[in-house]
Amino acid sequence: MGKIRARKVFKNPNHFFEFWLANLAKEVRNDSWRVSRVYSQALASLRKYPIKLTSGKECEILSGFGPSICKILDRKLEEFARMHSLPIPEALALGNRLSNAELHRRCIPKIEVLPYQPFSLIKDLPTPAVSSTVPMDPLSCEGDASPSDYLIGRAYAIILLIDVRETFGMPKVREIMRTQAVEWEARSLPVGDFVWIARDVRGPTKCEEIVLSLVIERKRADDLASSIVDGRFLEQKGRMQKLGFRKMYIFEECKSMYNLRISHETLLQAMVNAQLIDGCDFVTCTSSEQCAVYLASMTRLLINKSQPMILQFNCAVYSDGRRPREAFGGARLWGIPWTEYVNLGKKSPALPLREQFGRHLLQVNSITGSKAEYIVTVFPTPKSLFVAYDSLSTEDEKKAMLMRSNRSSRLKYVKCFGVST
């Protein structure tokens, strides 16, 4: 009879580390799904490992663990050992034996709930003395001014405007708008694919058309990927920011969204950055039909908001860069004149060739701002630089051409980008 090799298998051998990874993933889930996913991947890798680990540092041998996660686990272990006055090995053994509920009771700090005692803070504040010798400053008219005009409730119509360049899936969009009785028009929009206007139904007035404070840009997954690569996404987002409106993106999925020029994770990260940094809202749709239904629902919402049954709302009209308070802007309809919307949404004028050449030079490794400035000063166009290279006979002369400088900026060397004849 052959020998049987016995092997001791531990059940849940690293329970203490698993407990903390699960809690860390849960804590950051609302703030950053990406970080939470990193913790979850490390937890899944640790659960597959059948051998006891003696420290967080040893976890680096497993997939999904980096130096940061290992340092966090070691710090949690040291705090647990200090709390129970035990050496590190004994503290880890104790943590592996305890249940989740017991670890939660011992490790997670409790929040003390105090009984509610109502009291007034305002009555205890002293009344400030106003000096008659100091004149009161007038209110600033920027960002928080009263509107220039009003459109009276029930005196204007809410109309959806669709950019004429928005052509993908438009037959379905037109059909859905017609079946849901949504009034819409196709017009060339300077920024955004969809906006709403309030048009005075009483005839031509000073506020004939007002663009409401919401601009929507529709991005299919493939279009979003290409716009990120060529810089259109950043440029469009900047022009939307200048309006002062609520900014919204409709992200439309497509079949090739996982086989694009950039990864699907990069698309998601771009959307998360736009939400957290730029304050944009994102709505995900699976088709152009679902996008059209959402736009129709948004149109009905704006119409209901402008014409309530009990309280009559007026559309406040702002101009000259003035905008309402954020709280007011969220509760009431407001907008800006069409002409101001067009002026704010215009694309920046094309840069001169010299400035474009300088921007391209900055993309080359080791080319700093001062070096690029000197190059475009001596050679304002790429052609002039190529001609200067072609006029030199040897390779050494070409490499040393930009080293010669009479300026006092201590520019000693500019690494060229490999132009040769």
pLDDT at 307: 66
Judge whether residue 1 has pLDDT over 60: no
Which is more confidently placed, 217 or 150?
217
Q: Which two tokens stand for residue 293?
A: 């239904």
Judge whether residue 375 has pLDDT over 90: no
Contact 184, 218 (CB under 8 A): no
Which is more confidently placed, 390 or 189?
189
Q: Which two tokens stand for residue 91?
A: 């503290």
Angle, helices 15-27/88-97, rounded to nearest 10 degrees: 80
- Percent share of the chain, pLDDT over 70: 75
Q: Tens digit of pLDDT for each residue in 240-250? A: 888 888 999 99
The domain total for the chain is 3
Which is more confidently placed, 196 or 199?
196
Sign of CA dihedral 407, 411, 416, 421: positive
Query: Which of 314, 329, 345 delimits the end of a domain?
Result: 345
**Domain holding 372: CATH number?**
1.10.150.670
Whether 228 and 295 share a structural domain:
yes
Query: Is 117 among the domain residues?
Result: no
Q: Tens digit of pLDDT for each residue in 64-102? A: 888 888 888 999 889 888 888 888 888 888 888 888 888
User: Coil, strand or helix: which one is 385?
Assistant: helix
Query: Is 72 among the domain residues?
Result: yes
pLDDT at 408: 37
CB atoms within 10 A of CB 415: 12
Query: Is 141 among the domain residues?
Result: no
User: pLDDT class for 202, splitting at 50, 70, 90?
Assistant: low
Instruction: Please tell me the least confidently modeled range out of 145-159, 226-240, 404-418.
Output: 404-418
Query: Which of 313, 329, 345 delimits the end of a domain?
Result: 345
Which is more confidently placed, 354 or 416?
354
| CA pair distance 179, 303, nearest whole angstrom | 17
Whether 387 and 321 share a structural domain:
no
* Cβ burial 156-176 (10 Å sphere, 16+ → b, else e): bebbbbbbeebeebeeebeeb
User: pLDDT class for 5, splitting at 50, 70, 90?
Assistant: low
Amino acid at 69: I
Phi, psi of 400 (to 5 degrees): -90, 0
Query: Is 259 among the domain residues?
Result: yes
Contacts of 231 (CB under 8 A, 6+ apart): none
Whether 155 and 285 share a structural domain:
yes
Query: Is 275 among the domain residues?
Result: yes
CA distance readout (Å), 133 to 7, 129, 130, 186, 378? 90, 12, 9, 59, 61
**Domain holding 210: CATH number?**
3.40.50.10130
- Percent share of the chain, pLDDT over 90: 6
pLDDT at 416: 44
Whether 381 and 274 share a structural domain:
no
| CA pair distance 218, 285, nearest whole angstrom | 10
Which is more confidently placed, 370 or 120?
370
N-to-C CA span, the chain? 81
Whether 158 and 243 share a structural domain:
yes
pLDDT at 109: 60
Which is more confidently placed, 267 or 10?
267
| CA pair distance 178, 199, nearest whole angstrom | 20
Nearest to 197 by CA among 187, 185, 211: 211
Residue 363's domain spans which residues?
353-403
| CA pair distance 293, 197, nearest whole angstrom | 19
Judge whether residue 136 has pLDDT over 50: no
Contact 307, 154 (CB under 8 A): yes
Whether 280 and 368 share a structural domain:
no
Whether 318 and 380 share a structural domain:
no
Judge whether residue 161 has pLDDT over 90: yes
Instruction: Please tell me the least confidently modeled range out of 128-132, 156-160, 351-355, 372-376.
Output: 128-132
Whether 197 and 312 share a structural domain:
yes
Query: Which of 295, 312, 345 delimits the end of a domain?
Result: 345
| CA pair distance 150, 158, nearest whole angstrom | 15
pLDDT at 331: 57
Return the active site residues. 163, 166, 193
Query: Is 134 among the domain residues?
Result: no
Contact 199, 209 (CB under 8 A): yes
Contacts of 78 (CB under 8 A, 6+ apart): 88
User: pLDDT class for 153, splitting at 50, 70, 90?
Assistant: low
Whether 159 and 267 share a structural domain:
yes
Amino acid at 300: R
pLDDT at 404: 60
Judge whether residue 340 has pLDDT over 70: yes
Whether 103 and 155 share a structural domain:
no
Whether 160 and 266 share a structural domain:
yes
Judge whether residue 7 has pLDDT over 60: no
**Domain holding 45: CATH number?**
1.10.150.110
Judge whether residue 320 has pLDDT over 60: yes
Query: Is 131 among the domain residues?
Result: no
| CA pair distance 4, 9, nearest whole angstrom | 15
Judge whether residue 335 has pLDDT over 70: yes
User: pLDDT class for 216, splitting at 50, 70, 90?
Assistant: very high
Whether 255 and 340 share a structural domain:
yes
Judge whether residue 414 has pLDDT over 50: no
pLDDT at 152: 66
CA-atom Rg of the chain in angstroms: 32
Burial of 132 (0-12, 13-18, 19+ CB in 10 A): exposed
Mean pLDDT of the chain: 76
User: pLDDT class for 162, splitting at 50, 70, 90?
Assistant: very high
